[in-house]
A and B are shown apart, each in its own frame.
Chain A
Amino acid sequence: MRTEERNGVAGAGRDQFPVGMRVLAVDDDPVCLKVLETLLRRCQYHVTTTNQAVIALRMLRENREMFDLVISDVHMPDMDGFKLLELVGLEMDLPVIMLSVNGETKTVMKGITHGACDYLLKPVRIEELRNIWQHVVRRKFSTRECVTLDTYEECNKPLSADSDYAYGQVTCGSPDQSGRPSKKRKEYHSEEEDEDEDSNGQDNDDPSAPKRPRVVWSVELHRKFVAAVNHLGIDKAVPKRILELMNVEKLTRENVASHLQKYRLYLRRLSAVASQQAGIVAALGGRDPFLRMDAFEGLQGYQAFTSPAALSSFSAHGLSSPRNNQAAVVIQGRSIHTGSVSSTTNNSIGDANKYHLSLQGNQHGKLAQGLATSLGQAQLQQKWMNEDNGDLSAILCGNSLVKGMPSTLRSVTSSTLLPQDQVECTQAKVAIQPSIRAPPASLELLEGAVGASSDPLESRVSQQGALPLCGFSGSRLPVHGPFNNNGATRLGDAFSASFRPTNDLTVARGSKVGASSFGGTIHLSPDTEQKYWSFGSGNSFRQKADESSADSLLDPKLVWSSSQLTSNVDAHHSMSQRSNNCSINIGHGARMFGQISANASPVVPQAKIDFLFSGDTSMARNASESSIPRLQTELSSSTCSFDGLLNSMIKVVTQLISLYLVYHPSYFKEQNQFLEARNPFLFIII
């Protein structure tokens, strides 16, 4: 709230509240709009009018601080007034007054239940309008005591709450979209299918309740929440039970309920994104969950919340099924960033798709990656998880997502890596180097997959310096084991830059768990630094992968693997059960995810994805060769079906994402020093 700005009386400018209160009036009927405008002006308010809800939303999103109150008609052709009401309430936490000629009780009731502060009947009388300022005051008043807490939190958050209003309040991991061009945000918004942004605000479900302390959903808390939800199953999770499972004092059922609502929206958004991404995959028989990815739109504000299920499943499975022959899992990062996630995502996806298509030239299946948004992963995860023979070559194309992404990615990587247990990763960098062997024709590279070639990656990585992005404790970094065929991929510390798991990133392994526990908001960027996923370019997949191509595909920083992969690619044909180590380096920092470099080349049938988590991840599960605690997913390619590949990819990705999600943004910030330098634009192409 803009308490600071307008503090009742006094001050300059519009401090003669309610005089000068800024109202946004939305009504498709020109007559009503005109009358309303005049009446409001007569009350000495500052009025902005529009006859389209989408324009109104855009204005509000561009600058939340521009208005104090919104008045909207119920019946509008382009968008239902109730929906607008919900969105405004969720995203901007502004008071909304509904207006309608229909005064039926049930309609009024609907307005109130959707969160309207008031419901006026047309024709509106000026007397009624004279008092609408009370709603603004009331809202401010109820959050006043939270203000200090919030601001405190915000100060502590690194990069959080940057221009991204979405994260105004504390939420798990504030996404850090600082780099995001506003244009993207707009696109994001417009594309948002669902308008269900999770409100960044804290769950203050009863705005008018005075003195209610705001609940800050820290990473820790969110993790518990996600764990509880996963335990119960996303469909069956009810606030009461979640609350019981979480066992956190001072948390009320309402807090949980509102947080759950946001979480669900987030998941839905993820799946929407996934479905988009999965479009291609689907065509190839991709998996279901993957298809559900939609654009991230919804991510705005709500840091990517990859669908837990997907992630969990993904993570659980992805890693644990090394044997599967995974073509490179290409994870296209979609740019996830708070705020403009959608736009970015869309862009990225689009690009990815394009890119991917180029890759596809061959029949290889495309790896649906959806990694990018990590969200999508989640979805995929679910399904993928169950795939035993996931052919997963996780190639994470690492484009660092906008700040927020890294976290997600991290989680994903971490999740993928962990075979079946929860992975506790602090912000470890997960270096996943997929050594991807081009699977025989079956593997299609995922869109924008990140092919990480082991060797090149390293070098690349070091070049980019990205890897070290994360403050990952170098020690662990991963670089795990050698890529077969390629020589050992070693991700140097630098390489592993991957994510540094924050504290304990517990990735619910259980793929079995329905709801994946995504940690906190994906804040993709909490750590300001760009989380950078360096993903090898899918080029590697290409049979003839040429290093250069790979590089070109990927963002320079990210490129990894192309060369590596190529070498691996050669190995692909062998479809042997060999597990290639695919290390996917997920670098922090925003980086564009390398497009999957056209490696459409057949994915290596066996790809082992090693996710390296440096730091204190306790998950070292993999038995894989590296001694470094790293998560390795060995995907043995049993089949080169692109499905399998996709699955595996998705799994990996989702796991990674889930891992990330768990991170608390602020934590990240501390950890990642490198990322600053990186291009904050994290773009994961899927």
Chain B
Amino acid sequence: MAAVALKNQLNAHIASMFAAGFLDKQFQELQMLQDDGSSPGFVSEVVGLFIDDAEKITGLIAGLLDQPVVDFDKVDALVHQLKGSSASVGAQRVKLSCEQFHSYYEAKNRDGCVMALALLRNEFYDSRSKFQTMFQLEQQIEACS
């Protein structure tokens, strides 16, 4: 059936995300929570929140870095928050790039921060597109069944 095929596709997709390091164990935990049945749609809800939140935060960081005088403490706080949320979701790559960012803003190195932000954003966009593919597949499965 189409649903089965879609499910297979979804699983494969998720597996590849794990393999590539986009996802980590935390995501599995969330999946288990959802699979228990008591929280349907939980994963997509949380991931959706994450995507919106991360989008906002990266935008804010970019804005801060554009200032003539960079407020590194704020940058620190934002990156910290993003790290927390990505860790909670299981978006591993994003989390790792947040950690890398840390050394740059510790050093109060604006250029370094700009670069780190660029990397971070890349990771985030990649993760986001993967997640979106995942959601589309899920929706299709939903539609089928």
Q: A residues 333-380 with Cβ under 8 Å of B?
A: none
- Residues of B close to A36: CB separation below 8 A: 88
Is there an interface contact between A75 and B87, defined as CB atoms closer than 8 Å?
no
Is there an interface contact between B83 and A101, defined as CB atoms closer than 8 Å?
yes
Is there an interface contact between A38 and B33, defined as CB atoms closer than 8 Å?
yes
Is there an interface contact between A126 and B29, defined as CB atoms closer than 8 Å?
yes
**Does A125 make an interface contact (CB < 8 A)?**
yes
Partner of B87, one of A34, A42, A73, A123: A123
- Residues of A close to B125: CB separation below 8 A: none
Interface flags for B19-40 (1: CB within 8 Å of A; 0: not) read: 0000000100110010010110
Is there an interface contact between A28 and B26, defined as CB atoms closer than 8 Å?
no
Q: A residues 26-64 with Cβ under 8 Å of B?
A: 28-32, 34-36, 38-39, 41-42
- Residues of A close to B87: CB separation below 8 A: 101, 122-123
Partner of B46, one of A34, A100, A101, A124: A34
**Does A113 make an interface contact (CB < 8 A)?**
no
Partner of B30, one of A32, A35, A41, A73: A35
**Does B18 make an interface contact (CB < 8 A)?**
no
Give CA–CA (A599, B53) in the complex, Å: 58
Known interface pairs A42-B38, A126-B29; A31-B77 also in contact (CB < 8 Å): no
Known interface pairs A42-B36, A75-B77; A123-B90 also in contact (CB < 8 Å): yes
**Does B58 make an interface contact (CB < 8 A)?**
no
Is there an interface contact between B29 and A125, defined as CB atoms closer than 8 Å?
yes
CB of B81, distance to nearest CB on chain A (Å): 5
Size class of the contact patch on chain A: 20 to 34
Q: Which B residue sits closest to A100, measured CB to CB? A: B84
Interface flags for B40-66 (1: CB within 8 Å of A; 0: not) read: 001001100110010000000000000
Is there an interface contact between B77 and A30, defined as CB atoms closer than 8 Å?
no
Is there an interface contact between B84 and A122, defined as CB atoms closer than 8 Å?
yes
Q: B residues 99-123 with Cβ under 8 Å of A?
A: none
Size class of the contact patch on chain B: 20 to 34
Give CA–CA (A75, B30) in the complex, Å: 23
- Residues of A close to B45: CB separation below 8 A: 34
Give CA–CA (A86, B53) in the complex, Å: 29
Q: Which B residue sits closest to A36, measured CB to CB? A: B88
- Residues of A close to B85: CB separation below 8 A: 29-32
- Residues of A close to B36: CB separation below 8 A: 42
Partner of A30, one of B29, B38, B53, B80: B53
Is there an interface contact between B29 and A31, defined as CB atoms closer than 8 Å?
no
Is there an interface contact between B33 and A31, defined as CB atoms closer than 8 Å?
no
- Residues of A close to B137: CB separation below 8 A: none
Is there an interface contact between A123 and B88, defined as CB atoms closer than 8 Å?
yes
Q: B residues 62-97 with Cβ under 8 Å of A?
A: 77, 80-81, 83-85, 87-90
Give CA–CA (A39, B88) in the complex, Å: 11
**Does A11 make an interface contact (CB < 8 A)?**
no
CB of A450, distance to nearest CB on chain B (Å): 48
- Residues of B close to A32: CB separation below 8 A: 84-85, 88
- Residues of B close to A101: CB separation below 8 A: 80, 83-84, 87
The list of the 5 closest CB pairs from A to B, nearest first, reads A31-B85, A101-B84, A123-B26, A123-B87, A32-B88
- What are 9 A-B contacts defined by CB distance under 8 Å? A31-B49, A32-B85, A35-B30, A35-B88, A42-B36, A42-B39, A122-B84, A122-B88, A123-B89
List residues of A whose CB falls within 8 A of some B CB. 28-32, 34-36, 38-39, 41-42, 73, 75, 77, 100-102, 122-126
18 more contacts with CB within 8 A, not counting A31-B50, A31-B88, are A30-B53, A31-B85, A32-B88, A35-B30, A36-B88, A38-B33, A38-B42, A41-B38, A41-B39, A75-B77, A100-B84, A101-B80, A101-B87, A102-B80, A122-B87, A123-B87, A123-B90, A124-B88
